[in-house]
Structure 1
Amino acid sequence: MLVDDTKLILELEKSFLKCSHVDVVTAGNGLEALELIRKDPPDLVFMDFNMPVMDGISCCALLKADPFLCGVPVVMLTTAGNEQDRARAAQAGCDDFLTKPVDRRLFLEMAHKYTAGVERREQRVPCQVPLLFLLDGTPVGAHALDIGDGGLFVASRETVLLHQKLRLAFYLETERLPLLEVQGRVAWVNEEGSRVHKGLPAGFGVELLELEQWQADELKGFVEGIR
């Protein structure tokens, strides 16, 4: 269950879960969430801290006081750096925290912690796309061997660090041949002798960050066009 009074946030969180084998239910405030939970308890709740009608703190406290519902995990979304909010959420019995703006990778890792139905890696399609990435200011040529609308795998023997941020540039193989210049973060590394994914060569997985809307649309269209 996703609980937030901002529809844009709900749609964003739903998009994070599009490749997961889960049923998503949404609510716009704590009171609506509580009514839905009492009818059909979910496996996990992501709850915004500040909402009208009933805020996340009040909803979580009522949920945890109910002997039949207290086992439902609640992850509270709080403002970054606000320790007072975290202290109040912990007192209300919430199980974990995330800060806004919501990071896709952290959101999925948190969801996977509580329910195995959540897939942390988005749907990918095979490809052979030449690209450049900047490594210590030097452009390095490589190829993307699979791509999704949130990330890609770069075949390369260059040494990169986990969570290292990189600038990448590549043309999507479509009629328009759009050039995407994007920022990414190394999510995992396939090293020689220590492969995370044995079906792939040496290289690294990249999570794409802060995509402009047109870039996200181009990637989505490319992925859906060759599935």
Structure 2
Amino acid sequence: MAKSKILLVDDTRLILELEKSFLKMSHVDVITAGNGAEALELVRKDPPDLIFMDLNMPVMDGISCCTLLKSDPFLSSIPVVMITTAGNDQDRVRAQQAGCDNFLTKPIDRRLFLDMARKYTDAVDRREARIPCQIPVLFLLQQSPVGAHALDIGDGGAFLASREEVVLNEELRIAFFLETGEVPLLEMKGRVAWVNQEGKRVHAGLPTGFGVEFVDAAQWQKDELKRYVEAQPLP
């Protein structure tokens, strides 16, 4: 199955590299353009699944590019997320009039960027670096405990191998049975960030299951996870 394609458009190389780094764990192809004219040429040759575009650029700005894209019946369905300056309501009005689908503001927050991307493609993954593991897990699903195994884990989240049906953004209570550490049973609150369904795999190398992002973690919980991760041998 072909990867989803995301186009990043900005005239500042540092911003492009930052946005690319946000997507490094995702099963997507990332292409970049330095201005609206270059972006328009790339889109017409090979339309992406999603575009993040800066508003202010030389040669052709984001407003002009978005207007042309949304006026083309063959390209108008491509979601365009406009990157604007925080607090500039006038820019938002102009971008909305140009037909953009959503907004983000600078400085760009990784979490908000990936949340926005996942609205338009489920191939986007928010995961930080993880280590492989085989940790027994219990999680509460509709108040009933369900067994699973964590196949990778980091201080920001984990992947749980399970055939139970969960939905995106569902919140779960999760208990990890750690083999080492000061707290052998670590209870965490998690949110379903993505789902690897049978027949619709986001990550082909992983079994049926789902990724969870840890939320509202206390500092001692983060420290315990970090100690566990650092104690494991490198893969």
Per-residue CA deviation, residues 3-28 of structure 1 (Å, 9 max, x unaligned), is 00000100000000001000000000
Per-residue CA deviation, residues 172-206 of structure 1 (Å, 9 max, x unaligned), is xxxxxxxxxxxxxxxx9764xxx398998412536
* 2:39 aligned residue: 33
Deviation at 1:125, TM superposition (A): 1.8
Is the CA contact (8 Å cut-off) linking 1:190 and 1:196 kept in structure 2?
A: no
Q: Does 1:108 align with 2:108?
A: no
Q: Percent identity?
A: 67
Structure 1: gaps spanning 5 or more residues: 128-144, 154-187, 208-221
Q: Which of 58, 69, 79 is equivalent to 1:73?
A: 79
Deviation at 1:36, TM superposition (A): 0.2
**In the comparison of the two structures, how many residue pairs are matched?**
158
Q: Which amino acid aligns with 1:110?
A: M
Structure 1 residues 206, 9: closer, same or farther in 2, change over 3 A? farther
State the secondary structure of the residue aligned to 1:226.
Answer: coil
* 1:165 aligned residue: none
Deviation at 1:116, TM superposition (A): 1.0
* 2:188 aligned residue: 203
**Where does 1:8-157 land on structure 2 (aligned, <5 Å)?**
8-125=14-131, 146-147=153-154, 151=156
Structure 2: gaps spanning 5 or more residues: 1-6, 134-151, 159-169, 179-184, 190-213, 217-229
**Where does 1:175-186 land on structure 2 (aligned, <5 Å)?**
none
Structure 1 residues 201, 56: closer, same or farther in 2, change over 3 A? same
Structure 1 residues 103, 196: closer, same or farther in 2, change over 3 A? farther
Is the CA contact (8 Å cut-off) linking 1:47 and 1:75 kept in structure 2?
A: yes
Structure 1 residues 125, 190: closer, same or farther in 2, change over 3 A? farther
Q: CA RMSD in A?
A: 3.3
Deviation at 1:120, TM superposition (A): 2.1
State the secondary structure of the residue aligned to 2:119.
Answer: helix
CA distance in 2, matches of 1:59, 1:75: 12
Deviation at 1:33, TM superposition (A): 0.1
* 2:198 aligned residue: none
State the secondary structure of the residue aligned to 2:125.
Answer: coil
Q: Which of 9, 13, 19 is equivalent to 1:3?
A: 9
* 2:148 aligned residue: none
Structure 1 residues 74, 203: closer, same or farther in 2, change over 3 A? same
State the secondary structure of the residue aligned to 1:51.
Answer: coil
State the secondary structure of the residue aligned to 1:76.
Answer: strand
CA distance in 2, matches of 1:43, 1:2: 11
State the secondary structure of the residue aligned to 1:202.
Answer: strand
Structure 1 residues 190, 197: closer, same or farther in 2, change over 3 A? farther
Deviation at 1:226, TM superposition (A): 1.9
CA distance in 1, matches of 2:176, 2:114: 19
Deviation at 1:147, TM superposition (A): 2.9
CA distance in 1, matches of 2:111, 2:41: 30
CA distance in 1, matches of 2:96, 2:176: 38
CA distance in 2, matches of 1:84, 1:197: 48
Q: Which amino acid aligns with 1:86?
A: R
Structure 1 residues 80, 125: closer, same or farther in 2, change over 3 A? same
Per-residue CA deviation, residues 149-181 of structure 1 (Å, 9 max, x unaligned), is xx468xxxxxxxxxxxxxxxxxxxxxxxxxxxx
Is the CA contact (8 Å cut-off) linking 1:48 and 1:77 kept in structure 2?
A: yes
